[in-house]
Every structure is written in C-alpha cells, then in structure tokens.
Amino acid sequence: MTRLTDEAGISAVSRPDVARVMIGGEDLDAPTAPVINPARVAEVVGSFALGTARHVDLAVRAAVAAFPAWSALPAAARGEYLLRAADEMAGHVPGWAGTLTREVGKVLPESRGDAAGAVSLTRYFASLAAEVAAERPVPLPLAGRGVLRHVPSGPAAIISPWNTPVYLTFLGVAPALTAGSTVVVKPPEDAPLAVTDALSVLARALPPGVVNVVPGRGGEAGAALAAHPGVRKILFTGSVETGKRVFRAAADTVKNVGMELGGNDAALVLRDAPIGPDLIRELIAGVFGLSGQVCYGVKRIYVDAGRLAEFTEAFTQTAARIAVGDGLDPRSTIGPVTTRAGYDKVLALRAASEAAGARVHVVGAKVDPARWEEGYFVLPTVVTGLAPDAPLVSTEQFGPIIPILPFADEDEAVRLANGTEFGLGASVWSADTERAWRLARRIEAGSVFVNVHRVGASPMSVPFGGFKQSGVGRNHGLESVLACMEQQVVLEFDDAAAIPGTDHWSALLLPPARGDVP
C-alpha cells in the first residue's frame, strides 16, 4: 500500500481497497462485491470478498486449532501481545478514518473516534489481564478448600454492524482475545474496509489463527458462522430481526450468545427541565449524531405538555443550524444515511407522518445542493402532532428524523417510555436530579441517563446492554471479558466421608461385600 501523511505529519496507511478473507494469517481468494460511498453512490470505494460457508469452516477450524496454545498462555502474556498490537495499529488510525467516512458517510471527527477504538479498546482490555487471571476462594460448609476460576470458553464469532464498524467490532474482539478465546469476525458488508484492515494488522501481531476474518453476505457467511459447531460464543450487534435468526442458528449447538439489538430510546423532558442552550445542544447531539444512526441515540422525545411548544421551538431552531453533506467536507456537521434501505425507510416514515396529518418540519442546510441527489442525504426532520403509536414513534427509525410528543404527568411519561419492545437506553431531563433518579428507576432500559444521552455517556467502566428485545447480556469492562469465559469451581474436602448423605448414597450405589451375600 502507498503511504500518506495526514495534516499532523503522522504517517498512515492509505485506505484499503479490498476486504479479504484472512484465515490463519493468510489471505484467500474469493469473488468480490463493491463498497459504495453513500455520499456519492456512483463512486466505488473498494470491494469486499464474498466469503462462503467453506471459508467460514476453514476460519473456524483455524480458530479451533489456535485455541489451545492461545488459551494456555498466562493472561498477562496475552495482554502483552495485545499491547504490542495496539502500538502497531496506532499509526494507521488516520487512514482508517478517511476510509470510514467514504464507506459509512459520517463526518471525519466521528470517523476518527470510530477508528481510534481499535487502539484504545485493545489497550483497555489488555489492562484487565490480571483480573482475568484472578481466582477467588469459595466458602465451604466443611473443612477443605475451593476456588472459583474463569476459563476461556472457546472460539468466538463476532458479527459486527456498519454504523460504527471498527469500534463495535473491537468491543467484541478485544475482550474475547483477553479472555483467551480465538476469534472469527464477519465484518459488515456495507462498511467492511477499514475494520478488515484493522483486523489484519491485529492478526499479524498475534499467533496465526488467533484472529480470522471472513467478509461476506449475512445470509451466507454470517449464517454459516452462527451455526458452525466449532464456535462456542457469538457476539452480535445489529437489528432485532437478524438477531433472532442468529439465535435460531446458534440453538442447535447451544452456543453462548451475547447480543445488542438496537433500541428506540426515549428522552423524558420534565416540567422543571432548564430548556436552554445546554439542554438543547445535548439533545441535538443525542438525536442527530452519526445522522441518527446510533444504537442508543435518542429516538423519541416526550415533553411535559406545559413546555411542549417552548421545547419544540428551541429544538427545531437549533436543528436548523445542522449542515448536511459529504463527510469529507469540513463544512458538513452530519453526513448521509449509510444505506439505501435506511434512506428509503426514513423518507417513508416522513411521508407516513405527513399523511397522518402530523406537523413535519424539515430543517438544516444542504452543504452542496448541486450534488444533493448523488447521495443518501436527508435533512434533519422534527415531527410533532403524531399519535403515540404512529410508525415513527413505535419503530427504530435510525436516521435524522425525530418525533416530539407531550405527556400529562410522570406516570404517563413512564408508560409511554416503556411502551415498546425496546429497552436499550433512555434519559430523564430535570433541574431536580433526585426527581430524575426516581423516575429513571421506573424505566425499562439497560442504561438510563440523567441530563445527558449521547455517544460517550456510557463509559467503558459500566455494563452496557438492553432489556426486552434490545439484547441479551452485557458488554463493557471486565464483565465483557468474563462473558467469553466459563466459571469453573475446583473443590477438595479434608474428609469426604463427612459430606452429608454419604452413608445413604454408599448404601444405594455400592454392592454389599461378598461375605454379606446370602
């Protein structure tokens, strides 16, 4: 690859052109499909390999073969490997950021944060190695000794999403490797380039077979990976419907499954909330960050009826300052929607809202009006006057369109917030934080924020995951490492004969002595 130097003078690898199948440290040939730029849909950014079930089988076999040696390493040694890999990846971040903007569409500052996750997450989870190795005594009712330990569960499959592909992939890969698992990754087909290159650098810093990558379509490569008997753990981030299919595929071999399945997060703005620039700015970030394509972004806003008009006006006026354009253009504050399906869905929800008689406010500025039709660009849209069960309210829109609805009292606010099958995140906005905390405890969501709700509000030190159909299990922190391990208890008793029931079971299980047979 050619080398580039960014504006800070840091040498970086240029964008990768192909997301290849990589098994056991080797690149394998496969047919390819194009990756397009959602800001310029006629532009092909690169191509990704169409991995098959055969590639998946070879990758899992490589992960199974590498597992005994990798899992047998002391956790500290695995941590050292990962720290060296993070150092190798650090110089590539600027190049990956540019690639991410071209394949996902988001603006460069968002892409830099995404790409940097490969380095920061690898270093963070490597730092947990000592805790992974710890053994804990367990209490016994009799004299003896017992310990609880965690052992690697086996090869893990990571199936990652397109909206934040590098960060969310490494949020699965890094804890799995720290735990002692080997991995097979299926990158997202809409944004496979930067993450595959990051995984390639990681893989080559580790023993062969520890990290394997099979790009491809979800219906073939993803399905084969979810069903493969050699996989013991699946980490999946994506839609509810795809998650259900992964669950079904995993059931035949009773795999351990961890899933984050998106959300329809509610924000509750109480009567005493300080509706000023700070609050509005925070909610704008929570709604429109990454063009609204954030799993725990704000998807519904409920406002005390007495403050609805005031809030809606302030929110809409601020949203009007958003500039939509190519993520590589420094004038853009948000980029296009990433996929054609997502683009069509947002426009359909907007049209359905208009048909239902809602007030639809399309605001913001087009950075490059002459080229607007070349990409999946959608202006920020604020919708009021909807019924509580309208499609825009009850589904996850995953785009730059937001409904704002009133509530009469706190009981109704909680009922509305809890009225879907989603439960990933939520927020309560109030000048009285104790009141907000009381309300937060009544909301059915894995994370409930007070006076904040955006990317960065869920630190790596606290568990993250969803209630109901928003997911299974938790990630972040040591918990996500232990989720890739099995609990094992080792026990010894000083006097086994003293265990309760010994005489009873001995009489049932042991035949009488020969001399006692009549």
Other CB atoms within a 10 A radius of the CB of residue 385 amount to 15
Residue 426 and residue 449 in contact, taking contact as beta carbons nearer than 8 Å: yes
Whether 212 and 183 have beta carbons less than 8 Å apart is answered as yes
Taking the C-alpha atoms of residue 193 and residue 28, their distance in angstroms, rounded to an integer, is 16
C-alpha atoms less than 13 angstroms from C-alpha of 5 in its C-beta half-sphere:
3
Give the amino acid at 202. L
Of 118, 43, 445, the residue nearest 268 (C-alpha): 445
Partnered with residue 267 across adjacent β-strands are 301, 427
CB 174 within 8 A of CB 82: yes
Q: Which of 189, 260, 282, 444 is catalytic?
A: 260
Which helix (H) or strand (E) is 492 found in, with range? strand 485-493
For this structure, is 260 an active site residue? Answer: yes
Give Dmax over CA atoms of the chain in angstroms.
Answer: 104
User: Which residues touch 355 (CB under 8 Å, ≥6 apart)?
Assistant: none
Task: Answer yes or no: 295 catalytic.
Answer: yes
**67 half-sphere exposure, CB direction, 13 A CA radius:** 23
**CA 307 to centroid of chain Cα atoms:** 34
Which is the catalytic residue, given 103, 110, 189, 295? Answer: 295
Which residues are tagged catalytic?
A: 260, 295
